[in-house]
Structures are given as structure tokens and as C-alpha cells.
Amino acid sequence: MAAEYTEDDIKSLDWREHIRMRPGMYIGDPDERGLHHCVFEVLDNSIDEHLAGHCNRIKISIHVDGSISIADNGRGIPVDMHPKFGIPAVELVLTNLHAGGKFGQGAYKYSGGLHGVGAKCVNALADWFRAD
């Protein structure tokens, strides 16, 4: 233990570094259960679309390489530039902690997941992540 505590001891992590350093805060145990939690975080978004009446088909695929894809026929995440942040809305939703479409009144009557955190956790912890 260092004898002194100075400003050099203060660290600031970006969202990705923090999730990777402390995954338990976001997904619980980083074992098989944590992997299941990650799948459910993304699946919850499709289920939310279904419960809102915008989706009637959800497809989950487990691929030979161990990766998982989830697709639905819902509205999708908007791809146009966000007027306030100047990046595509899909990028904002998938790379900025606590960004999402479920904070306002009436967006979704019911919704699961971590509300602005879940898909970002999956993104941060995954070897690769793609949104189509």
C-alpha cells in the first residue's frame, strides 16, 4: 500500500472500461449466468417491441462459433442523426450509457432490462457486436 494518497491515485474510467473492470455491477456473475443475462438484455428489447404491439416475430440464433444473434420484425432503432448529440441514434443507444428510448412517458407501457444500460453492457463485454 502506498504511503501517500495523491491526485495521481485518482482514476477516471470510460463506460466500457468500467463495465469490463466491474461486470458484476451490470450482469451479475461473469460466468454462464452472466452470459445468459447478456442474451436476455438484448432479447428484452425485442420483447418490449412485441408487448408494445410492434413485433410479432423474434428469432434467436446460436451460431457454430458460439455467437448469438437476435432479430425481430419490430420498428428497429432509429438510424438518423440525433439532433442533440450529432451521431446516429443507433450509435447513441448502443455506445452511451443511460441513453435509450424508454425514459419518456408513453414510449413503452412495459419494458424489461436495465433501461439504458443493458445493450451497452453486451457491447462492452462482447468480443464483437453488430447492429443491423
Q: What residue ranges do the domains of the chain occupy?
A: 13-125
Q: Three-state secondary structure along 69-98? A: EEEECCCCCCCCECCCCCCEHHHHHHHCCC
Query: Using one digit for the tens of pLDDT, what is the confidence trace for 20-65?
Result: 999 999 999 888 899 999 999 999 999 999 999 999 999 999 999 9
What is the pTM assigned to this prediction? 0.81
The confidence score (pLDDT) of residue 22 equals: 95
Rounded Cα gap, residues 94 and 1, in angstroms: 38
Mean pLDDT of the chain: 89
What is the CATH superfamily name and number for domain 13-125? Histidine kinase-like ATPase, C-terminal domain (3.30.565.10)
